[in-house]
Structure 1
Amino acid sequence: MSEVKTRADRKPAKAKKSPLREWFDSILFAVVAATLIRWLFMEAFTIPTPSMENSLMVGDFLFVSKLHYGTRTTTTPLQVPLTHQKIWGTNIPSYSTAIQLPSYRLPGFTSVKNGDVVVFNVPPKYLNDNIDYPVDLKTNYIKRCVGIPGDVLEVRQREVYVNGTLLPKPPRSEQKYFLKTTEVLDAAFFRKYDIVNDYRDPGQPTENWKPLEQYNDSTKSSTMVGYSINTTETVINQLKGFDWVKGIEPMSDKPGEMSPGIYGTPTFKWNHDNFGPITVPKQGVTIPINAQTIALYGPVIELYEGNENVVSSPTGIKIGGKPITSYTFKQDYYFMMGDNRDNSLDSRFWGFVPADHIVGKAVFVWMSLDPNPDKWYNKIRWNRLFRTID
């Protein structure tokens, strides 16, 4: 009786993978999948500073959507997966600039709007360890967008106006106040009111600190104590209800007083509480070149527009050796501010955010860890888990 073998019978048995090979394949798949998700859809970030308090707290872990504004194609393809600037735990660069590609943005389902909380690559070199990183590898910042392309923005006594209309404050935004009391307050009291990263007592003077002698009440035997605090209007209203609180004063700079380090100075006498008016650059809009526009837009023309051989001075700009009398912007720009407006290094200090620096929209907090809990079991801020960002 003859034996008939099927094709499957004739096929040699497939060699079984070794455990090491199975582990390698699993890790490779996970890395590739995580890289694609991180690039195309969503990326996780951590809040390291109090510039967005009390909307976002130090220790918040959040997800940022790349789909809202559209994913950017990478300009630096030679990079260790799942890294940013350095290889984990080292100072070794995680990328090579041997290949640099033009960046494009895939279609998104919305655009950056006033009030959006946005993650972006901060533009100035001095905020990137004085290293000229590729755009997509610059340091990530998170702020609230208060000005979109074409907006006329102004800050008057800490209030933001856009196109002449007052921009409502975010519900949990903070500002700086000087609190005068007849009681000595400790860290536990401030923690009760979520003032955990921004308060100073008289033993910790700051540039805005006022000597206690100014607050001695000659009609009473007690001496008042002063604290510089950053907190919300809601908390301020609660503190005003205590009979031992003798005064709460906003701490702000005066109009016309110039602060060093503010964008546009010394041409304009601005400070972080009184800034502008200033027009946010918009793609296709042409401006004249003069001393005023150079102070505001000279860095944009020189650093972010892709122009070569730019020479800028307080009185003129040359591109390719030729003086220009006007300039047309090649891309859109945005103006960003922290919700903790008196403790935020933002566009008032370093200028506009180019459109090609936008990373994505912050959508929700999935975990929050208190970096300095009063008790170990309070390490997790349970009330902040899975909180949407507004």
Structure 2
Amino acid sequence: MLFIKGSVTCDSSNHNPEMSVLELAPKSKQQPRKKSAFREWFDSILFAVVAATIIRWLFFSAFVIPTPSMENSLLVGDYLFVSRMHYGTTTPITPLQVPLTHQTIWGTQIPSYLDWIQLPQFRLPGFTNVKNGDVVVFNLPVEHPDSYQKYSNVLPDLHPHPADLRSNYIKRCVAIAGDKLEIRGGQVFVNGKPMQNPPRLQNEYFVSTTTQVNEENIFHKNGIADYAQFTETFGDSITANDQFGYIVKTTSDIVAKLKTYDFVKRIDPILLDKGLKEPFLFPGAEQLDWNKDNFGPIIIPKEGTTVQLNEINSALYGEVIKNYDGNSDIAFENGRLTQRGKILETYTFKQDYYFMMGDNRHDSADSRYWGFVPKDHIVGKAVFVWMSIDPNPTSFLRKIRWDRIFRIIG
């Protein structure tokens, strides 16, 4: 207060109000400091990374098809957009992660995350629920720390990861929670009715020919990439009188076209006989003689549904109950599920599950081999192909599959 009082005291005879105002006003306006080129680049990159991370998490993600398990609906080299909005995006479980990565840092085997912090997961509201026939991207459940070694014969490169960072798989949902699923002679039945097959569904066939064919003109021209010459008998459907033949994986439409060629004697589907037990098939119970063409019937777990836990159901639903429904105190003992040493007779599921299959039915490691997909592992719905690059083109000009660009996935 003394300083302020003294600062305004002056000689009245020399007082000039205008001079006082000028002296108190700033002499010049301070110019904002210009950003360096490095700072401008850094701010732009930071904004782009943040924006891309939000879009990738909340709206759409881009994926590429690496294997033929969905042919001919989706081909190796298809680039597609997956909508996270349809089923509702999920909040991150593992927040300590390098942005725009999944499991490793680009081009290396260095993990891109730390699992020191694990958050509870929530799903935001979506447009719809998973439906029968949807093409769905999901996190592979069997990369659970307690499951991955069991399935190494089917999927040899499995590694354990947190639930939100498990490998992204794409398959068609053939049965939703509560459905009764059965496969008879290669045909999927849901709740006792045959499921409508996708237009580009691919099966395995034996093509009997009178002579060896020009593979480039016949198979490549018809879009058949997976074929092999076969001159011996194969099961009961191929007789010893066949001199030439080919095993091909293709669609029913292409089969109809091949039948019009004069050198084709006949075409038979290759299917495993009912009762022929296939190794490494889910759930691996000795009492079941299932194979990929004759599977089930089974009931898909549904939230709130109670199931009786006999030996077969314990094998079917044991991993669901123990690993994905969050019951760490449950264990397998002598073919039964126990909780704190007591045998479980019944169980009520805590979330919905789904059964996924590839459209290339004889070349797909899917739910027939590793079981159900939990709802909290669902990533999104495949919407459309925005680019398609042939990994093995017959010429450079055919590297891009122009007819597949902006193809709607159905």
- When the two structures are superposed, what TM-score results if normalisation uses the length of structure 2? 0.88
CA offsets per residue over residues 154-198 of structure 1, 9 Å max, x none?
0000000000011010001100000111232344221111111x2
Taking a change above 3 Å as real, the CA distance of residues 29 and 258 of structure 1, as seen in their structure-2 partners, is same
* Runs of at least 5 residues in structure 1 that lack an aligned partner in the other structure: 218-223
Q: Which residue pairs with 1:195 in the alignment?
A: 224
Counterparts of 1:130-209 in structure 2, within 5 Å, are: 130-188=158-216, 189-196=218-225, 198-202=226-230
Cα distance in structure 1, aligned partners of 2:55 and 2:401: 27
Tell me by how many angstroms 1:318 deviates: 1.5
Choose 1 or 2 for highest CA Rg. Answer: 2
Q: Which residue pairs with 1:88 in the alignment?
A: 106
Cα distance in structure 2, aligned partners of 1:301 and 1:33: 38
What is the identity, as a one-letter code, of the residue corresponding to 1:117? V
**For the Cα contact (< 8 Å) 1:128–1:138, is it kept in 2?**
no
What is the identity, as a one-letter code, of the residue corresponding to 2:341? G
Of 298-307 and 42-51, more deviation after overlay is shown by 298-307
**For the Cα contact (< 8 Å) 1:176–1:342, is it kept in 2?**
yes
Cα distance in structure 1, aligned partners of 2:240 and 2:395: 35
What is the identity, as a one-letter code, of the residue corresponding to 2:280? G
Cα distance in structure 2, aligned partners of 1:378 and 1:109: 38
**For the Cα contact (< 8 Å) 2:315–2:335, is it kept in 1?**
no
Do structure 1's residue 239 and structure 2's residue 264 form an aligned pair?
A: no
Cα distance in structure 2, aligned partners of 1:363 and 1:118: 9
Tell me by how many angstroms 1:319 deviates: 2.2
**For the Cα contact (< 8 Å) 1:143–1:339, is it kept in 2?**
yes
What is the identity, as a one-letter code, of the residue corresponding to 1:44? A
Cα distance in structure 2, aligned partners of 1:141 and 1:380: 24
Cα distance in structure 2, aligned partners of 1:150 and 1:284: 10
Taking a change above 3 Å as real, the CA distance of residues 187 and 19 of structure 1, as seen in their structure-2 partners, is farther
Of 186-195 and 364-373, more deviation after overlay is shown by 186-195
Q: 1:330 aligns with which of 338, 350, 371?
A: 350
Provide the alpha-carbon RMSD of the alignment: 2.3
What is the identity, as a one-letter code, of the residue corresponding to 2:71? E
Of 118-127 and 268-277, more deviation after overlay is shown by 118-127
3-state SS of paired residue (2:105): coil
**For the Cα contact (< 8 Å) 1:252–1:273, is it kept in 2?**
yes
**For the Cα contact (< 8 Å) 1:291–1:314, is it kept in 2?**
no
What is the identity, as a one-letter code, of the residue corresponding to 1:159? Q
Cα distance in structure 2, aligned partners of 1:16 and 1:293: 70
Tell me by how many angstroms 1:5 deviates: 11
Q: Which residue pairs with 1:30 in the alignment?
A: 48
CA offsets per residue over residues 275-304 of structure 1, 9 Å max, x none?
011000000111111111112111211221
Of 235-244 and 178-187, more deviation after overlay is shown by 178-187
Counterparts of 1:343-382 in structure 2, within 5 Å, are: 343-382=363-402
Q: Which residue pairs with 1:220 in the alignment?
A: none
Do structure 1's residue 293 and structure 2's residue 277 form an aligned pair?
A: no
CA offsets per residue over residues 122-160 of structure 1, 9 Å max, x none?
111334844321111001100000000000000000000
What is the identity, as a one-letter code, of the residue corresponding to 2:275? G
What is the identity, as a one-letter code, of the residue corresponding to 2:34? K
Tell me by how many angstroms 1:308 deviates: 1.1
Cα distance in structure 2, aligned partners of 1:353 and 1:242: 43
Of 109-118 and 289-298, more deviation after overlay is shown by 289-298
CA offsets per residue over residues 322-358 of structure 1, 9 Å max, x none?
3321111011000000111111111111110000000
3-state SS of paired residue (1:30): helix
CA offsets per residue over residues 81-137 of structure 1, 9 Å max, x none?
000001111111000011110111000010000000000011113348443211110
Q: Which residue pairs with 1:318 in the alignment?
A: 338
Q: 2:37 aligns with which of 19, 42, 67?
A: 19
Cα distance in structure 2, aligned partners of 1:267 and 1:6: 96
3-state SS of paired residue (1:296): helix
Of 162-171 and 258-267, more deviation after overlay is shown by 258-267
Q: 1:216 aligns with which of 214, 219, 241?
A: 241
Taking a change above 3 Å as real, the CA distance of residues 9 and 50 of structure 1, as seen in their structure-2 partners, is farther
Q: 1:74 aligns with which of 66, 70, 92?
A: 92
Cα distance in structure 2, aligned partners of 1:54 and 1:137: 28
Tell me by how many angstroms 1:210 deviates: 6.9
Cα distance in structure 1, aligned partners of 2:331 and 2:338: 5
Q: Which residue pairs with 2:275 in the alignment?
A: 256
3-state SS of paired residue (2:43): helix
Cα distance in structure 2, aligned partners of 1:78 and 1:286: 37
Taking a change above 3 Å as real, the CA distance of residues 83 and 8 of structure 1, as seen in their structure-2 partners, is farther
Tell me by how many angstroms 1:14 deviates: 1.2
Taking a change above 3 Å as real, the CA distance of residues 225 and 16 of structure 1, as seen in their structure-2 partners, is same
What is the identity, as a one-letter code, of the residue corresponding to 2:111? P
3-state SS of paired residue (1:311): strand
Cα distance in structure 2, aligned partners of 1:292 and 1:5: 94
Tell me by how many angstroms 1:8 deviates: 10
Of 336-345 and 58-67, more deviation after overlay is shown by 336-345
**For the Cα contact (< 8 Å) 1:302–1:312, is it kept in 2?**
no
Cα distance in structure 1, aligned partners of 2:48 and 2:95: 19
Taking a change above 3 Å as real, the CA distance of residues 5 and 379 of structure 1, as seen in their structure-2 partners, is farther
- When the two structures are superposed, what TM-score results if normalisation uses the length of structure 1? 0.92
Cα distance in structure 1, aligned partners of 2:354 and 2:28: 67
Tell me by how many angstroms 1:316 deviates: 1.6
Tell me by how many angstroms 1:40 deviates: 0.3
Q: Percent identity between the aligned chains? A: 55
Taking a change above 3 Å as real, the CA distance of residues 23 and 302 of structure 1, as seen in their structure-2 partners, is same
* Runs of at least 5 residues in structure 2 that lack an aligned partner in the other structure: 1-17, 149-154
**For the Cα contact (< 8 Å) 1:128–1:139, is it kept in 2?**
no
Of 60-69 and 180-189, more deviation after overlay is shown by 180-189
